[in-house]
Structure 1
Amino acid sequence: MIPWVVLTLALLPVVFGAVNLWLLPRLRSASAPGLLVSILIPARDEAANIAACLEAAAASRGVAVEILVMDDGSSDGTGGIVARLAATDPRVRLLHAPPLPPGWTGKVHACARLAEAARGTHLLFIDADVRLAPGAAAAMAGHAAARGIGLVSGVPRQVIGSLGEALTVPAINLLLLGYLPAAGRAFTRHPSLAAACGQLLLCDRAAYARAGGHAALHGVLHEAIALARRFRAAGERTEVVDGAPLAACRMYRGLGEAWAGFVKNAREGMATPLGLPVWTLLLAGGHLAPFLLLPAGPAFAALALVLALRVAITRRAQEPWWTVPLHPLTVAVALAIQWDALGRAALGRGAGWKGRAYPATRGA
């Protein structure tokens, strides 16, 4: 009986994943005349990343761009690097974040102030560790304008350079494509089915204003999903597209940094007292239990299915092939991170990031 239950739990993400991989749109390179994309980059202690990020953004083609960087209290020379590049490129502007108001999280505050300063018809929020492809801004803005979509987002190709990253980062695409019905496509209008990735997120300016923008999310840590849900609640359409051809990102370096980063966002995702036991059943039952039940036939079938799914997602996301054999460990680590986050919240321990501490309560 149990092996058949495990097979059923494995079939769920396989079916969702097959449909989602088929539905996930890959944007074609195109020009977007008449539009201006404001590429908006919140930056706090990003001296190691910001120059390469700006160089990639400045290479954008097919649409007019301006590039705004919000230096959010950096102590490592980030602002100086941006100032030197701005002196040679009039499209680049350096802004300095005002003091963080009570109740705000740092990135959300910086994004809100960037949006206020932007002049574009479309606002493309990226992180400082993102490297845009030359046609990304034009493709995303053109897609949004042609289809009347208020928010377009995608998961960039994740650059994975260590074992610790391989045990954590691939869970992003696994959860998005394997467990979210329709993977955030625009025809799914309900806010609970919205998805977005804060590394690569483009908003139509008018839709952003109607939804309240980042100012409506002042205390949120996982701002991208919250923003997409707010867009949908305001009647705006949102869509996730294939982000691998549009940008690349090495979001963390090593297990410790990755663990801290994912713990920070977990309380606004899976790590809730009601939700996490369900997620544990789904993920452990579908991806870990088949190994424990071998050589039972249903368990072998379940194992083959989930590994085939992981191969398909890895190929589409352009992640390293050597991460595939680590799949059961990746799922186990993902669950451990979520339970760690829930335990921290239960003990009243808040999240910390970039030298700032935030309370254990969820953002509003």
Structure 2
Amino acid sequence: MSVIDLIAGLSLALALLPLGQGMLNLYLYRRPTTAPPLGTAVSILIPARNEETGIAAAVDAALLSRGVEVEVVVLDDHSTDRTAEIVRAIAARDPRVRLEPAPPLPPGWSGKQHACQVLAGLARYPVLLFQDADVRLSPAAARLTAGALLSGGNGLISGFPREETGTLAEALVIPLIHFLLLGYLPMAGMRRSTDPRFGAACGQLIAVRKEAYLQAGGHAAIAASLHDGVTLPRAFRRAGQGTDLFDATGLARCRMYRGWREVWSGFSKNATEGMATPAALPVWTLLLFGGHVLPWMLLGWAALHPLPMTAVVIAGLAAMAGVIFRLLLAVHFRQSVVGALLHPVGILIMLAIQWSALLRARHGKPAEWRGRAYPAGPGPEAP
């Protein structure tokens, strides 16, 4: 067997890994269906900083919740636009809405984690549902999320909303959230263990039991973090609390970023707390480049230079495996088909974002988001 055959074989193995893991995870990753006990009450908590274009839609959607009692608490995090004015007007006509001002940001805290910690202290109910201001809940979301949380033994559960995309940049990169989650996280192991390494969540939509939240240290345990989707479930797991994931595609929707600039900045800001570490990124590069870009490079090379037919066939199977998985995800989660067909391009952009973030951190350049700058590198988590 030639060297090129071995390279093609490696690319096929790396492409089949997420396809196989993803098929199993699609079976395990379900929309919740269990109703909560009668009388369940949910505090829907929304941190908001300069969200005038969408905050009314977020609050109005939350107020349409059915099957549980809700309060909607919005924390105005020193907005310089009309965010507070808009929420104040909604609160004047619906007593379930409260607008609260954020205290000054203490040293060592990121803005979102501080806002969520303050919101948790203001909540009146035992189920806390944290949502981003760009998330729109369905009327069943609070009820079914509370049912999934209270029917299991977990302290935290999180759902990934339907991620809406409006530009090619968004369609290429944002659906990779589901690809990475379902292709590489062993959900069966996650549910059997409280090992922090299995911790995963979507910061856009997280529900917690209030007593479990306090036991885990709340957002104070991850005060400096910019990536609560990774660090908050790990804090719960370190405290002995289970965490779980559910499919929120039909329960919530979110357009997290708009256009190329926001996609790059948004994924860069927390990269060094996830993929972009000196130890992890070379491994991720091997997995993603080797399994989802290299096969296409081999096929392109074969179009210009003769290669062994075995290598061409194997590279073709590897290329098909990646695109087939992306197309399955696109259909299942209502994602862009164009983004799925351009899967290797999206992988290259994602890797470029991660390597750029790592190099910025190595040179001490701060991450910037919502008008605030944060020290480069991962934020410390409380022990």
Report the Cα distance in structure 1 between the residues aligned to 2:37 and 2:372, rounded to whole angstroms.
Answer: 39
Residue identity opposite 2:329 in structure 1: I
Q: Tell me the residue number matched to 2:307.
A: none
Q: Alpha-carbon deviations, 1:208-241, whole Å to 9, x = none? A: 1111110111111101221101111111111010
Q: 1:347 aligns with which of 363, 366, 373?
A: 363
Q: Tell me the residue number matched to 2:349.
A: 333
Report the Cα distance in structure 1 between the residues aligned to 2:237 and 2:332, rounded to whole angstroms.
Answer: 27
Q: Tell me the residue number matched to 2:186.
A: 181
TM-score when scaled to structure 2?
A: 0.93
Counterparts in 2 of 1:75-114, with a 5 A limit? 75-114=80-119
**Structure (1 or 2) with the larger CA radius of gyration:** 2
Report the Cα distance in structure 1 between the residues aligned to 2:54 and 2:37, rounded to whole angstroms.
Answer: 28
Q: Tell me the residue number matched to 2:203.
A: 198
Does the CA-based 8 Å contact 2:161-2:249 persist in structure 1?
yes
Return the offset for 1:32: 4.1
The alignment of Structure 1 onto Structure 2 pairs a total of residues equal to: 364
Return the offset for 1:137: 0.7
Return the offset for 1:102: 0.5
Cα distance change on mapping 1:184 and 1:154 into 2, 3 Å: farther
Residue identity opposite 2:201 in structure 1: A
Q: Tell me the residue number matched to 2:322.
A: 306
Q: Tell me the residue number matched to 1:283.
A: 288
- 1:99 is paired with a residue whose SS is coil
Q: Tell me the residue number matched to 1:165.
A: 170
Residue identity opposite 2:45 in structure 1: L
Q: Does 1:272 align with 2:277?
A: yes
- 1:360 is paired with a residue whose SS is coil
Residue identity opposite 1:333 in structure 2: I
Does the CA-based 8 Å contact 2:110-2:224 persist in structure 1?
yes
Q: Tell me the residue number matched to 2:3.
A: none
Supply the RMSD in Å over aligned alpha carbons: 1.2
Return the offset for 1:141: 0.7
Residue identity opposite 2:206 in structure 1: L
Does the CA-based 8 Å contact 2:169-2:260 persist in structure 1?
yes
- 1:318 is paired with a residue whose SS is coil
Listed as ranges, the gaps of 5+ residues in structure 1 are none
Does the CA-based 8 Å contact 1:149-1:186 persist in structure 2?
no
Q: 1:132 aligns with which of 127, 130, 137?
A: 137
Residue identity opposite 2:322 in structure 1: V
Report the Cα distance in structure 1 between the residues aligned to 2:194 and 2:320, rounded to whole angstroms.
Answer: 33
Report the Cα distance in structure 2 between the residues aligned to 1:167 and 1:362, rounded to whole angstroms.
Answer: 26
Report the Cα distance in structure 1 between the residues aligned to 2:74 and 2:43, rounded to whole angstroms.
Answer: 10
Residue identity opposite 1:312 in structure 2: L
Report the Cα distance in structure 2 between the residues aligned to 1:101 and 1:183, rounded to whole angstroms.
Answer: 39
Q: Tell me the residue number matched to 2:151.
A: 146
Q: Alpha-carbon deviations, 1:89-130, whole Å to 9, x = none? A: 110000000110001000000000000000111100000000
Instruction: Please identify runs of 4+ aligned residues in structure 1 that moved more than 4 A.
Output: none
- 1:186 is paired with a residue whose SS is helix
- 2:65 is paired with a residue whose SS is coil
Listed as ranges, the gaps of 5+ residues in structure 2 are 1-5, 303-311
Residue identity opposite 1:274 in structure 2: A
Return the offset for 1:29: 6.5
Q: Tell me the residue number matched to 1:315.
A: 331
Return the offset for 1:316: 2.0
Residue identity opposite 1:261 in structure 2: G
Q: Does 1:118 align with 2:134?
A: no
Does the CA-based 8 Å contact 2:322-2:343 persist in structure 1?
no
Q: Alpha-carbon deviations, 1:141-197, whole Å to 9, x = none? A: 111111122111011001100111112211111110111111785334211011100
- 1:153 is paired with a residue whose SS is strand
Q: Does 1:297 align with 2:313?
A: yes
Does the CA-based 8 Å contact 2:172-2:340 persist in structure 1?
no
Residue identity opposite 1:249 in structure 2: C
Q: Does 1:248 align with 2:253?
A: yes
Report the Cα distance in structure 2 between the residues aligned to 1:196 and 1:83, rounded to whole angstroms.
Answer: 31
Q: Alpha-carbon deviations, 1:217-267, whole Å to 9, x = none? A: 111110122110111111111101012111000001001111001000101
Report the Cα distance in structure 1 between the residues aligned to 2:189 and 2:155, rounded to whole angstroms.
Answer: 13
Residue identity opposite 2:7 in structure 1: I
Report the Cα distance in structure 1 between the residues aligned to 2:13 and 2:191, rounded to whole angstroms.
Answer: 28
TM-score when scaled to structure 1?
A: 0.98
